[in-house]
Chain A
Amino acid sequence: MGAAHGHRLYFHGHSPVHRLPAHCKIVALLCFVLAVVATPAGVFWPFAWYAVGLLAAVGASRVPPLFLARRMVVETPFVLFAVLMPFVATGPRVDLLGVSVSEHGLQAAAMLLCKGTLGVVASLLFAATTESRDFLAGLQRLRMPQQLVQIMAFMVRYLDVTTAEMQRMRVAREARCFSARGPAAWPTVARSGGALFIRAYERGERVHLAMLSRGYAGRLPMLSESPASALQWSVAALLPGFTVLVSLAAWTISR
């Protein structure tokens, strides 16, 4: 633990993608995923282009693809759901490897997997190239309410402290020959959860008092990040711009 910089998904680097201001990247990520989600149903060729664009961005970021691939496990529950879909969806059935599945369900599941995977990879790329501090400053630049940014700043700042506290409690439990097997262990684990809440709450009170003693009056100093130049905006717009074009092309052709 003790990751002073970057969070768990952060990959330290100095690539053009790393250097882009966070607010440009957030807008780019949102536009990219929106364009991908808006792809007309039943058309699959655009996904190849999206993937090419996204892989180019990954290449430019110099984040090892394996680093991103290993973190794609977050997608697992949703992949399971997509795999089930052809079997439960309605509509005309087709034979796939001798099993009768819904044609519509099969198509939709493939669509869902493509969209979901592209979304996850794009989010992972954003997370891997943006430090939490920049991420907060970016949200502030995008006019997110001051109060909300402050709450997020405190959460991000104390996330490692709180999870480390929880790990210490787990070590302490196990040092006392506790092993969590079956629901009989729940009361013990839940009591740790309760203790964790009390510690987090009391830490919050101490932090607040410490802030008051340093003259806090409801506002924090700006997590300022210099405004993005036109060049930076246009670099950030490359991938979403390309994606929007492909998506629009898909709409015009499929009509």
Chain B
Amino acid sequence: MHVPDGFLDAQTSLATGVVAAGAVAVALRGARRELDDRTAPMAGLVAAFVFAAQMLNFPVAVGTSGHLLGGTLAAVLVGPYTAVLCISVVLLVQSLMFADGGVTALGTNVTLMALVGVVVGWLVFRLVQAVLPRTVASVTPAAAIGAFVSVPAAALGFVGLYLVGGTVDLPTGALTVSMLGWHTLIGIGEAVITALTVGAVSAVRPDLVHGARHVLEARELVVRDGIEEQA
């Protein structure tokens, strides 16, 4: 999934590097609003979670399995700014400590996966949430749709960058169709995994789900009859 070195030319790599640095700077500022002085330990632990969750294997058929990308999942669970930070940090550690994804392609990878992946996923999530009833239960389908859209969106971003700075002339139409086709399939998997995970968390600790927080605040304390008799 990670773009390696030499895939895009040097100018495009540098340009996406600048975009990525800007995005991380904005996310650092925003994450302080989401997490205040807890930013460092919380974002660090969530980044470790994203890294570990990407290693969970979801078997598809004999011999093949998929894994989570986690952009939308992180955005729904901890908020978009923190999610951008976490995915960026995961990509940085993967490229420098695990040689996964080129060093010069780091800006490209951050732009596509941390910026496009998270922001598109989050916007779609909020859009769907605005349409659905304001309940905790509607967080799960909204997260699924956000995750589903975010994967082909990142793929489309890659196609766009490739047209600008690709090193090989590939037929544009075929590239777009095959990238979109594959990533729509991957998006379906991502949507299912994201929905299942968000559902599992919000069933136990809905207060931890950032995307459900404003729904929880709207709840009123209900005093039910029969409590005193039991006690």
Contacts and interface: CB of A to CB of B under 8 A. Distances in A.
B4 A208 contact: no
A223 interface: no
B42 A148 contact: no
B167 to A, nearest CB: 6
Interface stretch (A58-66, A176-184, A225-233, A235-243): A176-184
A198 B6 CA distance: 39
A193 B5 contact: no
Nearest to B106: A30
Interface residues of B, number: 70
B185 interface: no
B45 A200 contact: yes
B104 A34 contact: yes
Interface in A165-187: 165-166, 180-183, 185-187
Chain A binding surface, main DSSP class: helix
Contact of B44 (A7, A91, A119, A157): A157
A207 interface: yes
B200 interface: yes
B103 A30 contact: yes
Contact of B41 (A36, A132, A197, A204): A204
B170 A88 contact: yes
B54 to A, nearest CB: 10
A182 B59 contact: yes
Given A30-B103, A112-B6, A123-B99, A197 B201 contact: yes
Interface in B32-77: 32, 37-49, 51-53, 55-61, 68, 77
26 contacts: A8-B98, A9-B98, A33-B102, A38-B10, A78-B7, A85-B168, A108-B168, A115-B4, A119-B104, A123-B103, A126-B96, A147-B32, A148-B89, A151-B85, A151-B89, A153-B44, A155-B44, A157-B44, A159-B51, A189-B56, A191-B196, A191-B200, A193-B200, A194-B197, A197-B53, A205-B38
Interface of A: 7-9, 26, 29-30, 33-34, 36-38, 41, 71, 74-75, 77-78, 85, 88-91, 104-105, 108-109, 111-112, 114-116, 118-120, 122-124, 126-127, 132, 135, 145, 147-148, 150-159, 161-163, 165-166, 180-183, 185-187, 189-198, 200-201, 203-205, 207-208, 211, 216, 218, 220
